[in-house]
Amino acid sequence: MKFALAPESRPLEGYTIKRAIHRGGFGEVYYALTDAGKEVALKLLHNNMEVELRGVSQCLNLKHPNLVTIFDMRQDADKDHWIIMEYVGGKGLYEVLQENPAGLPLTEVFRWLHGMTAGLSFLHDRGLVHRDLKPANVFSDADQVKIGDVGLSKYISESRRSAQTHSVGTVYYMAPEVARGRYGREVDVYSLGIILYEMITGRVPFEGETTAEILMKHLTAEPDLTVLPEKLRPVLAAALEKDPDRRISDVEELERRFRKAIEESGFAIEKPTPVYTAKTSAKKSATALATTLLGNPNVATARNGSGLAGKWNSAAEFWHTRVPTPVKWVLCGSVLWLILRSGALQPLTAGGVIGGLAYLVYRTFFMKSPSRRTTQVAGSPLRPSQPGRPPILGASMPDSLMEGASQAVPVMARAQQRSMPPTPQLVQAAVPVSSIVYTPATLRQIPGSQRASDITTSMSVALAAAALVTTAVHLATDLLPDPADVAFFGSVTLLAAWALIVPAKVWEGRPGDAFVRRLIQGSLGLGVGAVAAILQRFLMLDETRLLHADGDGVFNGGNIGRIHVLESGLPTMAGFMMFFGLLFLVRRWWWQADSFRKSRFRISSSLVTLFLGVVLSAVMPFPEQLGAIWALAISAVVQLSSGWTPQENRLLAPSPSSAQVVPMMAQVRHAVASVPAGAGQRM
């Protein structure tokens, strides 16, 4: 980059240039020191510019902490005009945005927005319009946001047709009515809206390869608001309204509505990290990156639920965080063993069914908005992502994923509406505290080869897991006395686990309707049941205790309707098929097999499955203990053998972002010269 003036030159009496800062659209900017040592920025205006100096001169005496102060305007010996301004040392918003391609942390968005709003609001109050607000004109010095180039925009409007000052960087932020020569303060609202959008998402709403394309989009295209949290969409829509008369008319109004929307979305505004705690900078930048508005639920600090929910939550938290895993196993194991041994299975089951039904009735008729907890009891380990936040958006979000997000959002939004209560408090009770939540519902791209190897690995591990679990059942209970029993139980368990793992791994990371998935699982269950029945005949397990059902369940005579499910105390093929079909249909098994499930082996998941097995074998005529143990065994094998990614490794791999094509200067000139006229006709 060549600059006209050399270091140490003194174009103006009393000022020594030390270095060139940059070349802007309408002049070069230098860092200079006065003879006494005060640092200033000197802006040399282009010689050939038809300068209208009134714009600057009326801004000479404006004083506001959020505006870059203009000290003076001078002419050098060559009759060139210089503007002497306050030197702002810190990083500009432009650089900050470059460094944060996935958007800024929420606190930073607020800080920049507030500074810009205060500065613009002051200008508007003095009857001025900035007209050229863009990240390259916004700076931050010692945490004070400052808007630069105040008063210079006059030149821009005057010289627009000469295309001197236009770069693509400018048109990204230009309001549509500028094409018609209309410059109200709504122009600044629009630019601020675009910057706000960019600070949140990391990209401007209207991109293009040429100035013409971008201008055309400002005039005609609707911004893609689906990438924003839901509550923010109407705010940004109102700020980016094409018609200035229908746009938010006031920057302060924009800031107010933005704040309100953020509060309503349940994003707690993070307190800034204390300046003086000594953290390593690497860590800090990592957290800063991680806490963008779109990227991370850190910003949504969960409030403690009140009353019963709160107690339940704290108990659950205690169980999850304080109780060591081995202790959990011992506790659960002994409780299970006690239940099985004491013969309390039937009363407990009956109690569970009655309690469950009562709760269901209560939920359906008496609670207006069912809490998340209820769905969890019904067997879903679903952790809701933030309200309105598409779960696909990772901390450092590659562009390609962002593009995917816009399509994924409507689906997710609907899913959330269905499954989530409308009141934010209830939602928040279930939002986990300060961790990135990747659930099995997180959409992600998994290469086919990885998927295939995952399936084969899981299937082979399932072999070992099934053997292990079968041995455990053989040793711990007296259900499997004979080798034939062991073989029967083990092979059916393995087959069932395979039938569950394979579709789950195929579905992993993909969007899909839960109901359809359940139906598919259910039909696979029918198949497993049929095989189990054939195997039972083949192994001639007629006399064994294992398969002997004590009662008829709630049905008489071993018949459900006209289907014969029990014959001389043994389940028929229909009985097996019905048991496995229902077992597979009711549980959301793919969550237990997903790499992004909460932990490798979740006891609660297994317990719910066990309970389901108990209920099924109690309701339909099926051997009770076998039903319960089988459900538990299948759940254990599925969880133990399916590939699992530890929480800390759950990053969505970044893919190279598409290269931006820098437009040729010739194109820019051409576009600027031709667009306003054509654009005006289209309006």
CB of 8 to another protein, least distance (A): 7
State how far Cα 4 lies from the chain centre: 48
Question: In angstroms, rounded to a whole number, what is the distance separating the alpha carbons of residues 391 and 401?
Answer: 11
Binding residues among 88-117 for another protein as defined by CB under 8 A: 89
Closest CB to another protein among residues 72, 143: 143
Question: In angstroms, rounded to a whole number, what is the distance separating the alpha carbons of residues 133 and 250?
Answer: 15
CB of 667 to another protein, least distance (A): 22
Task: Give the 3-state secondary structure of residue 564.
Answer: strand
Closest CB to another protein among residues 89, 422: 89
CB of 106 to another protein, least distance (A): 21
Could you list the beta-strand ranges (E) of 221-373. none
Closest CB to another protein among residues 6, 662: 6
Closest CB to another protein among residues 277, 649: 277
Burial of 17 (0-12, 13-18, 19+ CB in 10 A): buried
Closest CB to another protein among residues 87, 173: 87
Question: In angstroms, rounded to a whole number, what is the distance separating the alpha carbons of residues 263 and 253?
Answer: 15
CB of 63 to another protein, least distance (A): 21
Question: 626: closest CA among 357, 634, 673, 163?
Answer: 634
Q: Contact 363/376 with Cβ under 8 angstroms?
A: no
Residue in 15, 26, 87, 438 binding another protein, rule: CB under 8 A: 87
Q: Any contact of residue 39 with another protein (CB under 8 A)? A: yes
> What are φ and ψ of residue 141, in 5° steps?
-120, 120
Q: Any contact of residue 677 with another protein (CB under 8 A)? A: no
HSE at residue 520, side-chain half, CA atoms within 13 A, is 17
Question: In angstroms, rounded to a whole number, what is the distance separating the alpha carbons of residues 579 and 629?
Answer: 13
Binding residues among 157-186 for another protein as defined by CB under 8 A: none
Sole window of 3-11, 68-76, 499-507, 662-670 interacting with another protein (rule: CB under 8 A): 3-11
Question: In angstroms, rounded to a whole number, what is the distance separating the alpha carbons of residues 379 and 605?
Answer: 7
Burial of 76 (0-12, 13-18, 19+ CB in 10 A): middle
> What are φ and ψ of residue 110, in 5° steps?
-65, -40
Q: Any contact of residue 282 with another protein (CB under 8 A)? A: yes
CB of 285 to another protein, least distance (A): 10
Closest CB to another protein among residues 275, 677: 275
CB of 44 to another protein, least distance (A): 14
Sole window of 15-23, 57-65, 264-272, 384-392 interacting with another protein (rule: CB under 8 A): 15-23
Residue in 13, 79, 127, 275 binding another protein, rule: CB under 8 A: 275
Interface mask (CB under 8 A) for another protein, residues 527-566, using x and -?
----------------------------------------
Residue in 13, 61, 127, 281 binding another protein, rule: CB under 8 A: 281
Q: Any contact of residue 3 with another protein (CB under 8 A)? A: yes
Tokens of 167: 């770069």
CB of 40 to another protein, least distance (A): 11
Q: Contact 477/449 with Cβ under 8 angstroms?
A: no
Sole window of 4-12, 377-385, 395-403, 540-548 interacting with another protein (rule: CB under 8 A): 4-12
Q: Contact 87/40 with Cβ under 8 angstroms?
A: yes
What interhelical angle do 573-586 and 624-641 show, nearest 10?
Answer: 50
Q: Contact 518/588 with Cβ under 8 angstroms?
A: yes
Closest CB to another protein among residues 89, 347: 89
Q: Contact 284/273 with Cβ under 8 angstroms?
A: yes
Tell whether the torsion through CA atoms of 55, 58, 64 and 70 is positive or negative: positive
Closest CB to another protein among residues 1, 540: 1
Residue in 18, 260, 311, 414 binding another protein, rule: CB under 8 A: 18
CB of 658 to another protein, least distance (A): 21
Q: Contact 211/173 with Cβ under 8 angstroms?
A: no
Q: Any contact of residue 662 with another protein (CB under 8 A)? A: no
Closest CB to another protein among residues 157, 287: 287
Question: In angstroms, rounded to a whole number, what is the distance separating the alpha carbons of residues 405 and 391?
Answer: 9
Give the binding-site size for another protein (rule: CB under 8 A): 28
Number of other CB atoms surrounding residue 653 within 10 Å: 10
CB of 141 to another protein, least distance (A): 8
Closest CB to another protein among residues 5, 539: 5
Tokens of 301: 């600090």
Residue in 182, 246, 279, 510 binding another protein, rule: CB under 8 A: 279
Tell whether the torsion through CA atoms of 576, 578, 583 and 585 is positive or negative: positive
Number of other CB atoms surrounding residue 588 within 10 Å: 19
Q: Any contact of residue 276 with another protein (CB under 8 A)? A: yes
Q: Any contact of residue 31 with another protein (CB under 8 A)? A: yes
Sole window of 272-280, 408-416, 596-604, 658-666 interacting with another protein (rule: CB under 8 A): 272-280
The alpha-helical segments, DSSP class H, found in 167-210 are 168-171, 186-201
CB of 164 to another protein, least distance (A): 20
Could you list the beta-strand ranges (E) of 144-288. 144-147
Question: In angstroms, rounded to a whole number, what is the distance separating the alpha carbons of residues 547 and 135?
Answer: 73
Number of other CB atoms surrounding residue 550 within 10 Å: 11
Q: Any contact of residue 280 with another protein (CB under 8 A)? A: yes
Residue in 10, 22, 180, 182 binding another protein, rule: CB under 8 A: 22
- Choose the catalytic residue: 80, 132, 188, 485: 132
Binding residues among 129-158 for another protein as defined by CB under 8 A: 142-143
Closest CB to another protein among residues 277, 556: 277
Interface mask (CB under 8 A) for another protein, residues 47-66, using x and -?
--------------------
CB of 143 to another protein, least distance (A): 7
Name every residue whose Cβ is closer than 8 Å to that of residue 581 and which is 6 or more positions away in sequence.
Answer: 522, 523, 525, 526, 529
Q: Any contact of residue 20 with another protein (CB under 8 A)? A: yes
Whether 132 is catalytic is yes
Question: 128: closest CA among 146, 153, 107?
Answer: 153
Residues paired with residue 16 on neighbouring β-strands, in sequence order: 33
Q: Any contact of residue 19 with another protein (CB under 8 A)? A: yes
Sole window of 217-225, 276-284, 411-419, 613-621 interacting with another protein (rule: CB under 8 A): 276-284
Residue in 77, 278, 661, 677 binding another protein, rule: CB under 8 A: 278
Q: Contact 582/525 with Cβ under 8 angstroms?
A: yes
Sole window of 21-29, 333-341, 370-378, 556-564 interacting with another protein (rule: CB under 8 A): 21-29
Q: Any contact of residue 341 with another protein (CB under 8 A)? A: no
Closest CB to another protein among residues 282, 677: 282
Question: In angstroms, rounded to a whole number, what is the distance separating the alpha carbons of residues 7 and 31?
Answer: 9
Sole window of 19-27, 170-178, 244-252, 579-587 interacting with another protein (rule: CB under 8 A): 19-27
Between the CA of residue 264 and those of 104, 105, 237, 300, 466, what are the distances in Å? 20, 18, 17, 11, 49
Instruction: Return the active site residues.
Output: 132
In the complex, the residues that contact another protein under the rule CB under 8 A are 1-3, 6-8, 18-23, 31, 33, 37, 39, 87, 89, 142-143, 275-282
